[in-house]
C-alpha cells in the first residue's frame, strides 16, 4: 500500500518524521514524500530516503496511492484518490463543504482532531499533543513581549516583584501554560468553568479562581460545556477584576465544535496597566477576547492583544515528532497485517468518533444531512 506525505505551505510542522518513516516502511507501506517535506526542521530528503521512502518533486498525489497524510485539511483536488484514505486535521465544523466533497470523491476521510479521548486512543490524541505544546509556546511568547521579567528577583538595586499571570481555561493547553509560567517564576492564577479541575491547578502551584456559576460540567470527551448567558455575565464580572490585576492573560477556552465563548471585553483590556500582554489561544475559532483575530497584534488601551495562530509551529520540531507519533499509532491501529492494508471499519470504537466519510457517504452522525 502506498502512503503519501505532501509538503504543506500553511504550517512548518510535518506529519512524518524520518524515524517513523522507517517504522511505516517495516509495516509494509511504500512511502512517498514530497521533496523538502522536513527541510524547515532540519530533516533532509536523504533522511527519509535512508528509511525507505521515495522522494518526489511535485505535489501530485501518486497514482494508486491508498493513504494520504497531512497536518491540515487539503486543497479539494489534493485530498486522495477515490477509494483511498485521508488523514489530517480537517476542521470539519468549519469546512462542511470539504466534508461533502470528500464523500462525493469516495474518500475515507479521518479527522484526527476528533479522535476520542479514551484510554486506548491516548497515543493517537493529536489535539492534546499539539495543544500542550501550544500552551507552552503561548507563555514563552508572552514572556518575550512583556516589558518585565516573570520571576521575583532580589538584587542590590532593589526587589522585583513576580509577574502576575492569569490563565483562563484549564484544559490541556491551560495546564501546560500554568506549568510553564510557574517554571519561569510567575505568580499564576487560573480559572475554569469546571470546579473539578481545581485540584489540578493547585497541584501545579497555581491558585484557582472560584466563580459561583451554578451547575456546570464537562462533556463525555472532557470538554467544558457551553455556559448560559447568565453564567457568562457572572463570569465576566470576576474576569474584569482578575484581568485588571494581571500582567499577562492567556485565554484557552474552547467548546469543541462550536465558536469559542467570548470571555474578555475590550473594556477589560483597557483597564490593564500599560505594557500588559493578552494572548487569545482561541482566536481561530471566534476568540475569547473581543477584537482578537488570528495572527493579528493590536493595542487595546495599554495592553497588547495577540490573536494566536499556529502556536505549535513555534516549537515545530517537537510538535512534528509528537504529531508523527500520533499518526503512527493510529495507522498501526488500523493496519491489517494479513492483507497489508488499512482496515476502515466504521464500527471501530476509535473510527466511530473521527471517520467522517466512507463508501461515498458522510458517515459521521454530526455531519450527515437529515433525511426527509
Same domain, 330 and 294: no
Instruction: Identify the three-state secondary structure at position 168.
Output: strand
Query: Contact 147/321 with Cβ under 8 angstroms?
Result: no
pLDDT in tens, 63-107: 889 999 999 999 866 788 999 999 999 999 989 999 999 999 999
Query: What residues contact residue 296 under an 8 Å CB cut-off, 6+ apart?
Result: 283, 307
pLDDT tier for residue 175 given thresholds of 50, 70 and 90: very high
Asked if residue 289 belongs to a domain, the reply is yes
| pLDDT value of residue 220 | 53
Same domain, 213 and 324: no
Asked if residue 130 belongs to a domain, the reply is no
- Catalytic (active site) residue 4: no
- Catalytic (active site) residue 223: yes
Which residue pairs, CB below 8 angstroms and at least 24 apart, start in 268-272? 268/236, 268/239, 268/240, 268/243, 268/244, 269/243, 269/300, 269/301, 269/303, 269/305, 270/300, 270/301, 270/302, 270/303, 271/240, 271/243, 271/244, 271/301, 272/243, 272/244, 272/246, 272/301, 272/302, 272/303
Asked if residue 138 belongs to a domain, the reply is no
| pLDDT value of residue 306 | 98
Same domain, 214 and 276: yes
Same domain, 202 and 350: no
Asked if residue 169 belongs to a domain, the reply is yes
Same domain, 261 and 151: yes
Asked if residue 365 belongs to a domain, the reply is no
Active-site residue, selected from the candidate residues 35, 183, 223, 321: 223
Tell me how far apart the alpha carbons of residues 186 and 151 are, in angstroms, rounded to a whole number: 5
Same domain, 107 and 41: yes
- Catalytic (active site) residue 128: yes
Tell me how far apart the alpha carbons of residues 218 and 224 are, in angstroms, rounded to a whole number: 4
Asked if residue 334 belongs to a domain, the reply is yes
Tell me how far apart the alpha carbons of residues 53 and 45 are, in angstroms, rounded to a whole number: 9
Same domain, 117 and 26: yes
Same domain, 199 and 98: no
Active-site residue, selected from the candidate residues 47, 125, 280, 313: 125
Active-site residue, selected from the candidate residues 128, 129, 242, 292: 128
Specify the number of domains making up the chain.
Answer: 2
Tell me how far apart the alpha carbons of residues 283 and 293 are, in angstroms, rounded to a whole number: 6
- Catalytic (active site) residue 117: yes
| pLDDT value of residue 193 | 84
Other CB atoms within a 10 A radius of the CB of residue 217 amount to 10
- Catalytic (active site) residue 122: yes
Domain that holds residue 80: 2-125+316-356
CATH no. for residue 39? Answer: 3.40.50.720
Tell me how far apart the alpha carbons of residues 244 and 31 are, in angstroms, rounded to a whole number: 54
Asked if residue 35 belongs to a domain, the reply is yes
Same domain, 118 and 160: no
Same domain, 281 and 327: no
Same domain, 212 and 271: yes
pLDDT in tens, 300-341: 999 999 999 999 999 999 999 999 999 999 999 999 999 999
Query: What residues contact residue 315 under an 8 Å CB cut-off, 6+ apart?
Result: 133, 136, 137
Asked if residue 62 belongs to a domain, the reply is yes
| pLDDT value of residue 231 | 76
Record the cell numbers describing residue 83, joined without a space: 477509494
- Flag whether pLDDT at 141 surpasses 90: yes
Give the global pTM.
0.91
pLDDT in tens, 186-239: 999 999 988 889 999 999 999 999 877 666 555 555 555 666 777 777 777 888
Same domain, 297 and 160: yes
**CA dihedral for 277, 281, 282, 286, sign (positive or negative):** positive
φ/ψ bin of 217: left (φ > 0), alpha (ψ from -120 to 50), beta (otherwise):
left
Q: Mark which of 309, 325, 345 sits at the end of a domain.
A: 309
Q: Mark which of 252, 279, 309 sits at the end of a domain.
A: 309
Amino acid at each position: 500500500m502506498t502512503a503519501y506525505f505532501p509538503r504543506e505551505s500553511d504550517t512548518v510542522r510535518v506529519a512524518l518524521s524520518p524515524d517513523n518513516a522507517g517504522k511505516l516502511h517495516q509495516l509494509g507501506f511504500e512511502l512517498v514524500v514530497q521533496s523538502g517535506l522536513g527541510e524547515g526542521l532540519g530533516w533532509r530528503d536523504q533522511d527519509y530516503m535512508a528509511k525507505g521512502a521515495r522522494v518526489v518533486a511535485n505535489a501530485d498525489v501518486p497514482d494508486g496511492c491508498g493513504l494520504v497524510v497531512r497536518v491540515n485539511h487539503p486543497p479539494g483536488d489534493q485530498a486522495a484518490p477515490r477509494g483511498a484514505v485521508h488523514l489530517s486535521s480537517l476542521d470539519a465544523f468549519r469546512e462542511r463543504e470539504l466534508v461533502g466533497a470528500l464523500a462525493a470523491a469516495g474518500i475515507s476521510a479521518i479527522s484526527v482532531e476528533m479522535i476520542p479521548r479514551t484510554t486506548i486512543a491516548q497515543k493517537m490524541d493529536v489535539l492534546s499533543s499539539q495543544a500542550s505544546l501550544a500552551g507552552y509556546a503561548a507563555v514563552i511568547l508572552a514572556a518575550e513581549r512583556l516589558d518585565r521579567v516573570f520571576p521575583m528577583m532580589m538584587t542590590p538595586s532593589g526587589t522585583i516583584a513576580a509577574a502576575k499571570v492569569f490563565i483562563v481555561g484549564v484544559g490541556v493547553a491551560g495546564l501546560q501554560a500554568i506549568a510553564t509560567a510557574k517554571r519561569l517564576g510567575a505568580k499564576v492564577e487560573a480559572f475554569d468553568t469546571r470546579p473539578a479541575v481545581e485540584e489540578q491547578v493547585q497541584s501545579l502551584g497555581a491558585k484557582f479562581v472560584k466563580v459561583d456559576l451554578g451547575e456546570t460540567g464537562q462533556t463525555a470527551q472532557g470538554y467544558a460545556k457551553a455556559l448560559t448567558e447568565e453564567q457568562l455575565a457572572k463570569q465576566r464580572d470576576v474576569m474584569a477584576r482578575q484581568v485588571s490585576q494581571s500582567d499577562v492573560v492567556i485565554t484557552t477556552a474552547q467548546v469543541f465544535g462550536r465558536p469559542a465563548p467570548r470571555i474578555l471585553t475590550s473594556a477589560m483590556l483597557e483597564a490593564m496597566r500599560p505594557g500588559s500582554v493578552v494572548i487569545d489561544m482561541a482566536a481561530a475559532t471566534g476568540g475569547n477576547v473581543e477584537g482578537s483575530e488570528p495572527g493579528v497584534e493590536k493595542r487595546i488601551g495599554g495592553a497588547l492583544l495577540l490573536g494566536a495562530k499556529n502556536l505549535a509551529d513555534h516549537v515545530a520540531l517537537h510538535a512534528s515528532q509528537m504529531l508523527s507519533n500520533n499518526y503512527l499509532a493510529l495507522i498501526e491501529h488500523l493496519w491489517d497485517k494479513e492483507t497489508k492494508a488499512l482496515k476502515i471499519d466504521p464500527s471501530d470504537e476509535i473510527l466511530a468518533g473521527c471517520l467522517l466519510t466512507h463508501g461515498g457517504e458522510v458517515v459521521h452522525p454530526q455531519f450527515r444531512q437529515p433525511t426527509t
